């Protein structure tokens, strides 16, 4: 028997039409049959090629023809051999994966753009990760009779700890439940991505059983076969994966048995054996404990080699941003500084620190329409999360042209209500003049569809191409994020106050490297307080850079750091500890940015 997807009635298997409502019954043809140049979603997505296929789905590389041929990955749900309740459960699981990923935001997780149904099949559109799976990497090493280098193994394990700790910190916690090399992607910068959330589950303390007992033999812990998982289940799977990276032994060949091994790292060897303990209570208590144990193993290695893998930390160094009176974002100051009103005195630093730069002024021109304000609040909320650790910034809102004076960034939030408002259009005309004289940076954000391109506003950079509002909640969230990221980029550049090189603090230099053209104008930064310099080597992931620390006296590289968004940079504490041991904020570290080796 199977269930009609329209009326919900039970109907015999293999029939072509529902006997109750007459609806055509979709045929469960095999997955992965889309040929190159096929079109989906009313011609929006152009299939380029198939890049993966498993028992649950097929994945294609495609172009989004509506967004400048952006490359995306499209996951097609498998329906082969499914009917009735089984098919409905598979559809529910597929929708669950899309909804779960859509609310998760992390640099080691792919972004979700939308989900849709086409020709009776479910599709999920997500960020395309250029790279290879860890499974492919291990297979290549195995064919050469070799294992992954220890430093690379620890780097991958450290990144997995970070993203799994993020999942476990959700409310309720998200248990991945299928961690294995085939579900770990590695890009060219060695950044990892977790893929395939098809069987991830929300953990509810006290719940004795999950709804399903899926998993991969060799990587799934014993309790998963009893339909009972917890965050320690992911610790087991990580331990199994780590054991395979260190030994080359595929755990699927001998499930639940992990051969003791020796690599002259007894602490690491004991950690792995604890992680794969059959009794969940004997495993480390949390992913944070595993991460800290790995950090303790990694840190001593930094004294034995000139270039080492990045060292993580428990929390970002840069103080989190906060909102004052709903309109200003400023950096928290040390309590002693707040109490006395004076900057603390540090050894090897001037008694009187440089005068703080004026906050970046962001002025918003928006109509009085309720829908416009709702969308703007969503963009601003997303922006607050992205600019944690940035210099001070202040928001103002007014439709009066005179209010634009002194603004560093002007945002024109376009809609039909905006275009029909005389005060909004007058402010837009004033903003165009400031843009032409380079007195301010102007950005148009299309909140709702309107004829903005038929006015002078067409010569201002506009995002997104169509509008923020969208019938798909997933697409709308991605457009909100796109707008917030572009504002973040403008804020980072505005904080430099026109500088592209020369005297600046470490925070300004990092912002220039992360969100501007820093590598082109000033890839080097020499701190005033010591004999160290930083060099921007390459980008890492969607928003990160690899930096080399150079000892200028010895003229050699002594360390390497991965710096991501300033509200999630694990290596920042170690970087500051070397450049300026008395500082906890990169804005306090003064230096000189240059194009050439200092």
Enclosing H/E stretch for 218: none
Q: Specify the residue for token string 């804005």.
A: 587
Give the mean pLDDT of 130-159. Answer: 90
Q: Which of 187, 191, 70 is nearest to 478 (CA)?
A: 70
Return the biggest CA–CA distance within the chain.
Answer: 86
* Measured distance CA(475)–CA(125) in Å, rounded: 10
- Class at the top of the CATH hierarchy for domain 131-301: mainly alpha
Using DSSP's 3-state secondary structure scheme, residue 394 falls into strand
CA atoms in the 13 A half-sphere facing the CB of 34: 30
Name the pLDDT band for 351 (thresholds 50, 70, 90).
very low
**Ramachandran area for residue 37 (φ above 0: left; ψ -120 to 50: alpha; else beta):** left
User: How far is residue 11 from each of residues 27, 47, 119, 290, 341, measured CA to CA in Å?
Assistant: 14, 34, 21, 51, 77
E strands along 134-282, which residues?
A: 174-175, 184-187, 192-194, 201-202
What's the pLDDT tens digit per position in 84-115? 666 677 677 667 767 776 777 788 888 888 88
Measured from the Cβ of residue 405, the count of other Cβ atoms closer than 10 Å reads 12
Task: Tell me the mean pLDDT in the region 377-383.
Answer: 89
Q: Please name the helix (run of DSSP H) or strand (run of DSSP E) that holds residue 355, with its range, or none.
A: none
Q: Which residues contact 463 (CB under 8 A, 6 or more apart)?
A: 443, 444, 445, 446, 482, 483, 486
Rounded mean pLDDT, 302-311: 35
Domain covering 358-494, topology? Rossmann fold (3.40.50)
Q: What is the pLDDT of residue 83?
A: 58
Q: What is the pLDDT of residues 390-407, one digit of tens each?
A: 888 888 888 888 889 889
Beta strands at 39-40 and 10-11: parallel, antiparallel or unpaired: unpaired
Q: What is the pLDDT of residues 175-217, one digit of tens each?
A: 888 899 988 999 888 889 988 765 444 433 444 343 344 567 8
At 249-264, the pLDDT tens digits run 999 988 889 999 989 8
Active-site residue 416, yes or no?
no
Output the known binding site: 75
Is the Cβ–Cβ distance between 410 and 404 less than 8 Å?
A: yes
Residues comprising the binding site for ATP?
75
For 128-231, strand residue ranges (E) read: 131-133, 174-175, 184-187, 192-194, 201-202
Are 562 and 544 in contact by the 8 Å Cβ rule? The answer is yes
Using DSSP's 3-state secondary structure scheme, residue 385 falls into helix
- How many residues comprise the chain? 598
Check residue 56 and give its pLDDT.
65
Hunting for tokens 């997807």 — which residue is that?
Answer: 5
pLDDT for residue 8: 65
Who contacts 353 (Cβ-Cβ below 8 Å, separation ≥6)?
Answer: 343, 588
Ranking 301-305, 385-389, 448-452 by mean pLDDT, the lowest is 301-305
Q: Which pLDDT score is estimated for 525?
A: 94
CATH fit for domain 24-127, picks 3.90.1330.10, 3.40.50.300, 3.30.200.20, 1.10.10.10: 3.30.200.20
Count of CA atoms in the C-beta half-sphere (13 A) of 148: 25
Among 154, 155, 137, which residue's Cα sits nearest to residue 146? 137
- Which residue in the block uniquely carries the two structure tokens 């609806």? 23
Mean pLDDT, to the nearest integer, of 228-246? Answer: 91
Predicted confidence (pLDDT) at residue 325 exceeds the cutoff of 60: no
pLDDT score recorded for residue 298: 80
Q: Which residues of 388-403 are buried (b: 16+ CB within 10 A; e: fewer)?
A: bbbbbbbbeeebebee
Alpha-carbon distance of 544 to 310, in angstroms, equals: 13
Catalytic residue, candidates 92, 136, 178, 571: 178
Give the residue extent of every domain in the chain.
24-127, 131-301, 358-494, 502-594
What Å distances lie between residue 172 and 166, 314, 349, CA to CA? Answer: 12, 21, 46
pLDDT tens digits, 39-56 = 999 999 999 999 887 666
Report angle CA 435, 440, 445 to the nearest 5 degrees: 75
Which helix (DSSP H) or strand (DSSP E) does residue 85 occupy?
helix 84-102
Beta carbons of 79 and 90 less than 8 angstroms apart: yes
Give this prediction's pTM: 0.48
Task: Say what percent of the chain tops pLDDT 90.
Answer: 31
């Amino acid at each position: 028997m199977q269930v009609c997807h329209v009326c919900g009635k039970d109907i015999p298997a293999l029939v072509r039409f529902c006997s109750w409502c007459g609806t055509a019954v979709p045929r469960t043809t095999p997955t992965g049959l889309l040929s190159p140049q096929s079109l989906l979603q009313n011609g929006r997505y152009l299939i380029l090629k198939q890049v993966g296929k498993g028992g649950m789905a097929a994945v294609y590389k495609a172009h989004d023809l509506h967004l400048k041929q952006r490359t995306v990955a499209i996951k097609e749900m498998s329906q082969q051999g499914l009917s009735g309740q089984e098919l409905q459960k598979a559809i529910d699981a597929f929708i669950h994966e899309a909804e779960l990923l859509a609310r998760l935001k992390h640099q080691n997780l792919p972004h979700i753009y939308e989900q849709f149904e086409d020709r009776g099949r479910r599709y999920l559109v997500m960020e395309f990760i250029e790279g290879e799976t860890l499974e492919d990497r291990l297979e290549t090493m195995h064919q050469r009779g070799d294992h992954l280098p220890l430093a690379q193994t620890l780097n991958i394990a450290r990144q997995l700890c970070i993203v799994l700790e993020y999942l476990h910190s959700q409310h309720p916690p998200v248990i991945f439940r299928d961690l294995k090399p085939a579900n770990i992607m590695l890009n060219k910068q060695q950044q990892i991505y977790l893929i395939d959330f098809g069987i991830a589950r929300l953990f509810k303390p006290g719940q004795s059983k999950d709804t399903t007992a899926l998993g991969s033999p060799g990587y799934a812990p014993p309790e998963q076969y009893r339909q009972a998982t917890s965050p320690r289940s992911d610790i087991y799977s990580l331990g199994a994966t780590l054991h395979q990276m260190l030994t080359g032994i595929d755990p699927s060949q001998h499930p639940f048995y992990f051969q003791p091994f020796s690599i002259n790292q007894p602490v690491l060897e004991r950690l792995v054996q604890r992680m794969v303990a059959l009794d969940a209570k004997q495993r480390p208590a949390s992913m944070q404990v595993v991460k800290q144990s790995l950090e303790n193993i990694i840190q001593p290695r930094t004294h034995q080699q000139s270039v080492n893998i990045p060292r993580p930390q428990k929390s970002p160094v840069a103080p989190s941003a906060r909102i004052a009176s709903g309109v200003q974002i400023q950096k928290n100051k040390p309590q002693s500084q707040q109490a006395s009103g004076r900057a603390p005195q540090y050894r090897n630093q001037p008694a009187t620190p440089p005068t703080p730069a004026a906050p970046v002024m962001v002025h918003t021109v928006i109509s009085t329409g309720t829908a416009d304000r709702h969308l703007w609040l969503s963009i601003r909320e997303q922006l607050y999360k992205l600019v944690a650790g940035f210099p001070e910034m202040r928001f103002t809102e007014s439709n009066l042209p005179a209010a634009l004076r002194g603004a560093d960034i002007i945002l024109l939030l376009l809609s039909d209500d905006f275009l029909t408002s005389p005060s909004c259009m007058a402010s837009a005309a004033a903003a165009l003049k400031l843009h032409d004289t380079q007195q301010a940076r102007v950005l148009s954000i299309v909140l709702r569809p309107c004829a903005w391109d038929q006015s002078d506003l067409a010569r201002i950079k506009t995002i997104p191409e169509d509008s923020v509002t969208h019938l798909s909640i997933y697409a709308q969230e991605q457009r909100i994020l796109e707008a917030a990221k572009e504002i973040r980029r403008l804020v980072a550049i505005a904080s430099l106050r026109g500088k592209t090189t020369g005297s600046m603090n470490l925070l300004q230099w990092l912002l220039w490297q992360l969100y501007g053209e820093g590598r082109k104008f000033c890839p080097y930064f020499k701190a005033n307080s010591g004999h160290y310099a930083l060099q921007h080597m390459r980008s890492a992931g969607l928003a990160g850079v690899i930096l080399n620390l150079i000892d200028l006296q010895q003229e050699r590289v002594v360390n390497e750091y991965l710096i991501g968004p300033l509200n999630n940079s694990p290596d920042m504490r170690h970087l500051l500890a070397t450049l300026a041991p008395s500082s906890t904020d990169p804005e306090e570290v003064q230096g000189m940015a240059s194009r050439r080796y200092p």
